[in-house]
A and B are shown apart, each in its own frame.
Chain A
């Protein structure tokens, strides 16, 4: 519908035309305003999402930890040499030796070569002996038997599996050298190295002797 203009308008556009031009601008302004509001909410929620994904993506690996299956012979000569079953002896025995022995046989390590043994020992967590000790203390009848134990892997092994230590890094600058990486792959292949849920995150595990194993961080990242 067009309403005829009264007289000659100087601008050349009819009153209706001017009105419609203004209406268009106002409606466009309205749409833009609405858009600003939507953008504002979108950006705020995007920040929220970025925050959560950033934190969760960096932290979720802590929920799993790597463990190695070992057939440990609980040698009475090492644990209880005097045969008296005294608590102090059982408590302070050298369980690391037993764990390492089991690891050497699982990997096929040349036990005569000291360097090889040391390198292999570096694949186990430093608290592996605590695990064995607690097992024996809880049930001293196990002394002399061979048990299948899932022992915590060293933090560096855990980091390698989770990707924090990259295999692409040159050997000199990597925490695990090529031989150790090969051993890790062998263990994974035989199913002796898996990731399990990190029960150490629960409150019951927070004791001083286990503090380091309660958090799945590579121990090289520790400052302590």
Chain B
């Protein structure tokens, strides 16, 4: 029986267990159902959990461990000469054994006998069973494959037997525990809470895994390039690593121009997005007719839904040339990939972030503050400026910081719209490049993986991650610390 059939059996076993549990609990509680500690459904759930869960855990562990164990056993039976071969070839042979073992159950006895006769016959017989081999298989490979197939069949039987055993014992144990004063609800809810915690742990572990893998590669990068040169260098010039040459130290990996580019373009974006977003939010929450608001708010959120590559394309094809031509007509030389163009388009993308979040925060300020202010004779503008906004300020600052972290991490717009030459300049009409653009350009193309040219992408990624992490944590901190408690 395959694992999927066993799973179905498990689920099928859980349902009658549930029903029996309810039945027993109700029977125990006659004549007065209030004698039961928890509602009957919980007793049913308890019994179902005891029936299904132990077997499920065992199946999970088994399906993870069994292939490893089987492989080890089969490989240990290979001749010593084979095991002494270089690691790559041994892995290749192991893979061949596995694929042959997968095809063996499809052969009947006649074909099996034919397979053992010669290597050529084996290849053709296996090909007819769907196992395509590159070379004719050696006899020890076929023997190992047969052993693997046998072990797999055995393990399936054992797993099924264990499953049945665990289902039965679990059921009996749970059945005995059902009593009038047994606290079934607490037990069931404890199990559910453990399940939810496990689910969130998976998310946390995934994040930790990502960070650790990036960190590992970054540390490797710092073997070739010193952290000081990376973090405080002002020249970005990685050069190319020629194949065969292991020292890539001719390149210069200075972070500062990239960091400056990121900060510059993000500041321009925020300069565009914050006034527009904030005033839109104020108007929509305070002044606008509800019908108008119902139209404008979704329209602004359309801006957030547009794919960033479309924004990048728009910046590349429309905004860049437009700015360049406009600058030429005034007499300024604006680059087609200027920081201004990229920042402008990025700002357009961020407007909905600022506006939606600020809108929600401003609406959350209690009406009593506004009414008090109107009662004192203030106009609506004065109320907003002097009462509502200060009350909403922590939330708004948090929203702006979150929008900023979005801008910092944005890739597609800057890859298309910003330049690729690292440039430390304060002039927004020139082209600058950002960290994200460089990560993309260092990782695309044929590159050897161990060279500093490729590993620097990890270092840049780690830097980016730390920056956005810092921004998000700071935003959360501000919102929490300065949040107004109105009650």
Contact = CB atoms under 8 A, between A and B. Distances in A.
Interface of A: 26-27, 29-30, 32-34, 36-41, 43-45, 47-48, 50-51, 54-55, 58
Interface of B: 275-280, 282-284, 286-287, 296, 299-300, 302-303, 306, 310-311, 313-314, 317-318, 348, 351, 355, 379-382, 384-385
B351 A30 contact: no
Contact of B300 (A39, A45, A58): A45
B280 A37 contact: yes
A48 B303 contact: yes
Given A33-B384, A37-B287, A44 B282 contact: no
Contacts of A51: 306, 310-311, 314, 348
B275 A54 contact: no
Given A33-B381, A33-B384, A55 B279 contact: no
B279 to A, nearest CB: 4
Given A30-B382, A36-B283, A41-B279, 14 more contacts: A29-B382, A30-B379, A37-B284, A37-B286, A37-B287, A40-B277, A40-B283, A41-B283, A47-B303, A47-B348, A48-B302, A51-B310, A51-B348, A54-B314
Contacts of A34: 283, 287, 380-381
**Residue among B279, B302, B317 with max Cβ neighbours from chain A (10 Å):** B279
B351 A44 contact: yes
Contacts of B282: 37
A92 B123 CA distance: 35
Given A37-B287, A44-B303, A30 B314 contact: no
B306 A30 contact: no
A46 to B, nearest CB: 10
Contact of B379 (A29, A44, A58): A29
Contacts of B310: 51, 55
Contacts of A36: 279, 283
A38 B280 CA distance: 7
4 smallest CB-CB distances across A and B, nearest first, come from A37-B283, A40-B279, A33-B381, A30-B381
Given A40-B279, A47-B303, A48-B302, A26 B296 contact: no
Contacts of A45: 296, 299-300
A58 B310 CA distance: 13
A55 B279 CA distance: 27
A55 B314 contact: yes
The interface residues of chain A, by DSSP majority, are classed as: helix
A40 B280 contact: yes
Nearest to B284: A41
B299 A48 contact: yes
A112 B467 CA distance: 73
9 contacts: A33-B385, A34-B287, A40-B277, A40-B279, A41-B279, A44-B277, A48-B300, A51-B311, A51-B314
Nearest to A58: B317
Contacts of A26: 379, 382
B379 A27 contact: yes
Contacts of A32: 381
A181 B280 CA distance: 53
Nearest to A45: B299
A37 B351 CA distance: 14
A29 B314 CA distance: 37
Contacts of B348: 44, 47, 51
B376 to A, nearest CB: 13
A26 B355 CA distance: 26
Contacts of B381: 29-30, 32-34
A47 B284 CA distance: 18
A41 B300 CA distance: 8
B8 to A, nearest CB: 36
A151 B58 CA distance: 65
A38 to B, nearest CB: 6
A188 B103 CA distance: 63
**Residue among A26, A32, A38, A41 with max Cβ neighbours from chain B (10 Å):** A41
B379 A55 contact: no
A93 to B, nearest CB: 35
A39 B282 CA distance: 12
A30 B280 contact: no
A50 B348 CA distance: 11
Contacts of A29: 379, 381-382
A38 B283 CA distance: 7
A29 B275 CA distance: 17
B299 A55 contact: no
A54 B300 CA distance: 18
A33 B384 CA distance: 10
A44 B355 CA distance: 10
A54 B310 CA distance: 11
Contacts of A47: 303, 348, 351
B380 to A, nearest CB: 6
A55 B280 contact: no
A43 B276 contact: yes
Contacts of A39: 279
Given A33-B384, A34-B381, A55-B314, A44 B302 contact: no
A32 B283 CA distance: 12
Nearest to A33: B381
Contacts of B351: 44, 47
B66 to A, nearest CB: 42
A164 to B, nearest CB: 14
A165 to B, nearest CB: 19
A34 B286 CA distance: 10
A26 B380 CA distance: 10
B379 A40 contact: no
A66 B300 CA distance: 38
Contacts of A40: 275-280, 283
A167 B317 CA distance: 24
Contact of B276 (A44, A50, A54): A44
A78 B310 CA distance: 48
Contacts of B284: 37, 41
A36 B276 CA distance: 9
A27 B351 CA distance: 29
